[in-house]
Chains A and B, each alone.
Chain A
Amino acid sequence: MRRGRIWARIRCALVVALIVPACGWAQNAGQNSSDPDQETIRQLAEQIKQLQQQDHDLLERIKILEVKQAPASPGTEADASSPSTSPQLAQQTAPLPAPLPAPTPTPPAVPHDRHDLHGIQWRGFGEVNYQVLNQRQPELATGGFVGGSHGNFYTGDFGLFLTSRLTAKTSVLAEMIFEEGDAQSYSVDLRRMLLRYEYDDHLKFSFGRYQTNIGYYNWAFRSAAWLQTTADRPLVMQYASDGGLLPTQAIGVSVTGAIPSGKLGLNYVAEYGSSDTVRPDISGDGFVTDENNGNQTNVGLFMRPDGLRGLQIGTSYYHDQISNNVLNASSGVQVPLPPGSLGYSARYGQTIVNGYVVYVAHGVEFLNEGFLIRQALVGGPLHFDTPAFYSQFSKQLGRVRPFVRYQYVNANSNVNSVIDDVGLRYGPSFGVRYDLNDYMAFTTQLDHTVRGGQPDLNGLQLQFAFTF
Chain B
Amino acid sequence: MLVKSITTLLLLGLSVCSLDLPGMAQAEGVAVVVNSGNPAGNLSLGDLRKMFAGTKRSWPGGQAVKLITRGPGCPERAALLRLLAMSESEYKQYWTAQVFRGEADAEPLVVPSVGMQREALGVFSGAISLVNAPDVKPGMKVIKIDNLLPGAAGYAVR
Chain A interface (Cβ within 8 Å of chain B)?
Answer: 6, 9-10, 13-14, 16-17, 20-21, 56-57, 60-61, 63-64, 67-68, 77, 79, 81-82, 86, 88-89, 92, 108-111, 113, 115-116, 121, 123, 125, 161, 163-165, 168-169, 171, 173, 192, 194, 196, 198-201, 206, 219-222, 224, 227, 258, 263, 304, 306, 309, 361-363, 396, 435, 438, 467
Contact = CB atoms under 8 A, between A and B. Distances in A.
A434 to B, nearest CB: 13
A350 to B, nearest CB: 25
A306 B48 CA distance: 12
B144 interface: no
B71 to A, nearest CB: 6
Contact of B106 (A113, A194, A220): A113
Contact of B122 (A86, A109, A115, A161): A86
Given A64-B116, A79-B126, A116-B106, A201 B99 contact: no
Interface in B93-145: 93, 96-97, 99-102, 105-107, 109-113, 115-116, 119-120, 122-127, 139
A81 B63 contact: yes
Contacts of A68: 123
Query: Which of B62, B66, B90, B112 has most chain A Cβ within 10 Å?
Result: B62
A105 B89 CA distance: 33
Given A10-B7, A13-B11, A224 B106 contact: no
B14 interface: yes
A81 B96 contact: no
B24 interface: no
Nearest to A267: B55
Given A10-B6, A60-B113, A196-B102, A438 B124 contact: no
Contacts of A222: 100-101
Nearest to A210: B102
B101 A220 contact: yes
Q: Secondary structure at chain A's binding surface: helix, strand, loop or mixed?
A: mixed
B89 A82 contact: no
B10 interface: yes
Given A16-B10, A86-B125, 8 more contacts: A13-B6, A17-B14, A56-B115, A163-B99, A196-B102, A198-B58, A201-B57, A227-B97
B13 interface: yes
Nearest to A92: B122
Given A64-B120, A81-B125, A198-B58, A467 B96 contact: yes
B64 A169 contact: yes
A89 B123 contact: yes
A134 to B, nearest CB: 34
Contact of A92 (B71, B113, B119): B119
Contacts of A309: 49, 85
A434 B26 CA distance: 37
B42 interface: no
B89 to A, nearest CB: 6
B3 A109 contact: no
Given A173-B102, A435-B89, A111 B112 contact: yes
Contact of A110 (B58, B106, B112): B112
B22 interface: no
A41 B124 CA distance: 42
Contacts of B126: 79, 81-82
Given A113-B106, A224-B100, A14 B125 contact: no
B36 A9 contact: no
A168 B64 contact: yes
Contacts of A109: 112
B96 A123 contact: yes
A363 B119 CA distance: 36
B106 A163 contact: yes
A68 to B, nearest CB: 5
Given A64-B116, A108-B112, A224-B100, A20 B14 contact: yes
Interface in B47-70: 49, 55-58, 62-64, 66
Interface in B1-36: 3, 6-7, 10-11, 13-14, 17, 35-36
A169 B58 CA distance: 10
A169 B125 CA distance: 14
Contacts of A306: 46
B82 interface: no
B47 to A, nearest CB: 9
Contacts of B124: 79, 82
A227 B115 contact: no
B106 A263 contact: no
A165 B127 CA distance: 17
23 contacts: A60-B115, A64-B116, A67-B109, A77-B105, A79-B64, A81-B64, A82-B123, A92-B119, A108-B112, A109-B112, A121-B99, A121-B105, A123-B96, A161-B100, A163-B102, A173-B102, A194-B102, A199-B62, A200-B58, A200-B62, A222-B101, A227-B93, A309-B85
